[in-house]
């Protein structure tokens, strides 16, 4: 055996040794690591103007991101225009303070509606918006680190803020000692980047985080109570951040849409749309003219598929630096390197846009069915409700539920299902022959279609019914259904158009109120935000809106329905 192994070993080829290489100075100088991103993009065939615009728009993060941005913006009519970006320099809270502030943002939206503070992330402004050409973006980011190094170490104790409340403004103001440190950074940054082409000034007035302003005096007490609920701020952590933006305001896509005409804009989940304010106020048919953040393409879009969001959601982060004394040089940017590396920043991967929402919805359904199957729950209505549902503890919470709670019934209001032509697009025209016979051409389409029903009321009948009469008629029907099923404890569901949710939430809540206390009905502006299959849920004692007990059910791309918008109308 040993002899055979020895013979086999001797038959193996002997590998040649690698000879030493003599490096020349010319070969070292041509290393690809010394090639800058702008040079690589120029070698790829992009013009200098477009390459600089792409690098600035992606925060100089990598050649790959810049080239992807250029490819997606190939039809952008603004691509070759000389439009400087706007930059802003912030001190931003992180950690527990940021968590508290974001919670305050959400609660204050429900109390007072949208106010100016909701347009931006929690921050202290060090340098207000200033314009700079795209070729300056890399130096602007590097100047953040240089300014911090020139000022020196931050104070040993964390930066402290204290609340300030008045009838038209609420905020957290920085103590004088710590404000002086940030002001010196702002002044130093301005010195670093000021030039004939860049005009900027440091923000050296009272440094603060704005909590709310431009709000109705009627909600003052409610907002003040939210500020009072916030915990002490001594343990706040901070970062310096440099952002840039396209100076237009932003709406986010909540539902996908495939254009049906040449002048319409395709909507993709994860994209943001730039829409002018006058468009929102002047539309007569619910269609708006907007520009895609993802592609730069402009066109008309249905307003119902968008939602106003923080302007900063579409900003580009160029530099983030921690303000702790131990790691003040710990940066989250590629601004000091020419390496083609990538960081984990929002909006950096165009191919993943829209994927996160789909994954989130799938996980919810998967967790729900596992809960039902493994814990043998009685059904969907016995699983705890709410969009922030803790699926893992539903079995325990159900077991502890009192008999009284179990007897509480549900009243649902649901918008009708999706329009097949909007959901499946061009497939529909191939599904019907000249006789109107339906054939299933796609596995996602229904197996069969029922015949069209004859309407109970012909459309050509002239009616003089007013809006108030329409709501009152529906209210009586809803009262009747709820009251007649009270003894048996049956659940009730109303299915109709988008107004059904608003109507039911308003009407059912008035069951417990004397007739004289009821307010008159008004068309809600929130109706444009009710997608297909949107579900509202109500429970008694007293009747109130609660989170639906199940994840959304829809085939087309759609943002999750926020049932709390119905509560906003009830408060108003």
Cα–Cα dist 130/84, whole Å? 9
pLDDT of residue 569: 57
Catalytic: which of 419, 497, 571, 572? 497
pLDDT value, residue 458: 66
Contacts of 461 (CB under 8 A, 6+ apart): none
Q: What is the pLDDT of residue 462?
A: 63
Q: What CATH topology corresponds to 33-80?
A: Helicase, Ruva Protein; domain 3 (1.10.8)
**Residue 276 and residue 25: Cα distance in Å, rounded?**
56
- CATH number of 408-419+455-571: 3.40.50.1240, 3.60.150.10, 3.40.190.10, 3.30.420.280? 3.40.50.1240
Domain 85-245+314-337: CATH architecture, name and number where available? Alpha-Beta Complex (3.90)
323: nearest Cα among 208, 238, 207, 242: 238
Sorted by where each begins, the domain ranges of the chain are 33-80, 85-245+314-337, 250-308, 408-419+455-571
Residue of 241, 415, 510, 529 marked active site: 415
- Per CATH, the number for 250-308 is 2.30.30.40
DSSP characters over 326-382? TSTT-B--STT--S------TT--GGGTTHHHHHHHHHHHHHHHHHHHHHT-S-GGG
Annotated catalytic residue 415:
yes
Omega before 542 within 30 of 0, i.e. cis: yes
The per-residue pLDDT string of the chain (572 residues; one tens digit each, 9 = 90 and over) reads 555 555 555 555 555 666 776 655 554 444 445 688 899 999 988 999 999 999 999 999 888 888 888 988 888 888 898 888 999 999 998 888 888 888 888 888 888 888 778 888 899 999 999 999 999 999 999 999 999 999 887 777 777 888 888 888 899 998 887 888 999 999 999 998 887 678 888 887 889 999 988 888 888 899 999 988 887 666 678 899 999 987 666 788 888 898 999 999 999 887 889 888 777 777 888 899 999 988 889 999 998 888 888 778 888 999 998 886 544 344 444 444 433 333 333 333 333 333 344 444 445 555 555 554 555 444 444 443 333 333 333 333 444 444 455 467 899 999 888 776 666 667 777 888 888 788 887 777 778 877 766 666 666 666 677 878 888 888 888 988 998 888 888 899 999 888 888 888 888 878 766 555 556 666 666 676 777 788 888 888 888 888 888 766 665 444 556 667 666 655 55
Measured between alpha carbons, how far is 145 from 142 in angstroms, rounded to an integer? Answer: 6
Query: Which tokens is 494 given?
Result: 């109303």
Question: What's the gap between Cα 116 and its chain centre?
Answer: 18
What pLDDT sits at residue 53? 92
**497 assigned to active site:** yes
In sequence order, what DSSP letters do the residues of 155-204 get, joined into one string?
PSSPP-EEEEE-SSEEEEEEPHHHHHHHHHHHHHHHHHH--SS----B--
Please identify which of the residues 78, 214, 392, 416 carries the catalytic annotation: 416
Q: Looking at residue 286, what is its pLDDT?
A: 85
Per the CB < 8 A criterion, the answer to whether 58 and 139 are in contact is no
- Helices (H), strands (E): how many in the chain? 17, 16
The reported pLDDT for the residue numbered 508 is: 83
Name beta bridge partners: 539: 544
């Amino acid at each position: 055996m040993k002899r055979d192994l020895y013979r086999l070993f001797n038959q193996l080829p002997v590998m040649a040794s690698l000879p030493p290489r003599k490096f020349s100075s010319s070969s070292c100088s041509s290393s690809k690591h010394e090639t800058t991103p702008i040079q690589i993009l120029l070698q790829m065939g992009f013009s200098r103007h477009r390459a600089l615009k792409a690098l600035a728009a992606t925060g100089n993060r990598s050649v790959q991101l810049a080239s992807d941005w250029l490819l997606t913006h190939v039809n952008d009519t603004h691509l070759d225009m000389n439009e400087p970006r706007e930059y802003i320099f912030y001190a931003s809270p992180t950690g527990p303070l940021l968590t508290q502030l974001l919670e305050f943002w959400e609660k204050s939206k429900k109390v007072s509606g949208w106010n100016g503070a909701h347009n931006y992330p929690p921050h202290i402004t060090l340098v207000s918006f200033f314009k700079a050409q795209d070729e300056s973006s890399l130096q602007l980011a590097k100047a953040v680190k240089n300014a911090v190094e020139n000022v020196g170490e931050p104070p040993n104790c964390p930066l402290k803020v204290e609340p300030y409340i008045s009838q038209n403004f609420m905020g957290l103001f920085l103590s004088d000692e710590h404000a002086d440190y940030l002001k010196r950074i702002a002044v130093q940054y301005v010195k670093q980047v000021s030039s004939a082409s860049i005009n900027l000034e440091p923000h050296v007035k009272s440094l603060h985080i704005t909590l709310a302003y431009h709000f109705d005096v009627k909600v003052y007490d409610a907002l003040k109570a939210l500020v009072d609920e916030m915990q002490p701020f001594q343990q706040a952590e901070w970062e310096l951040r440099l952002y840039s933006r396209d100076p237009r305001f932003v709406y986010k896509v909540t539902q996908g849409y495939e254009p049906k005409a040449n002048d319409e804009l395709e909507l993709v989940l994860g994209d943001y749309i730039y829409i002018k304010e006058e468009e929102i106020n002047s539309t007569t048919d619910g269609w708006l003219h907007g520009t895609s953040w993802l592609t730069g393409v402009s066109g008309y879009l249905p307003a119902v598929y968008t939602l106003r969001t923080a302007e900063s959601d579409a900003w580009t982060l160029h530099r983030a630096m921690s303000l702790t004394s131990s790691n003040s040089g710990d940066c989250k940017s590629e601004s000091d390197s020419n390496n083609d590396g990538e960081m984990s920043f929002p909006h950096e991967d165009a191919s993943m846009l829209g994927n996160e929402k789909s994954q989130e919805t799938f996980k919810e359904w998967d967790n729900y069915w596992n809960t039902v199957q493994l814990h043998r729950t009685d059904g969907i209505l016995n699983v705890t409700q709410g969009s922030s549902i803790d699926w893992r503890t539903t079995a325990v919470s159900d077991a502890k539920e009192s008999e009284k709670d179990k007897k509480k019934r549900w009243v649902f209001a649901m918008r009708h299902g999706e329009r097949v032509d909007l959901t499946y697009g061009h497939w529909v025209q191939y599904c019907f022959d000249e006789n109107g016979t339906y054939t299933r051409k796609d596995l996602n389409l229904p197996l069969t279609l029922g015949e069209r029903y004859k309407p109970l009321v012909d459309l050509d009948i002239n009616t003089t019914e007013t809006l108030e009469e329409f709501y009152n008629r529906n209210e009586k029907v809803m009262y009747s259904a709820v009251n007649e099923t009270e003894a048996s404890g049956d659940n009730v569901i109303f299915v109709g158009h988008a107004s059904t949710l608003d109507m039911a939430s308003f009407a059912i809540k008035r069951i417990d109120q004397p007739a004289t206390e009821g307010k008159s009905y008004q068309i809600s502006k929130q109706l444009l935000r009710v997608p297909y299959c949107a579900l509202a849920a109500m429970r008694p004692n007293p009747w109130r809106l609660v989170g639906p007990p199940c994840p959304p059910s829809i085939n087309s791309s759609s943002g999750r329905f926020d049932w709390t918008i119905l509560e906003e109308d009830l408060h108003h």
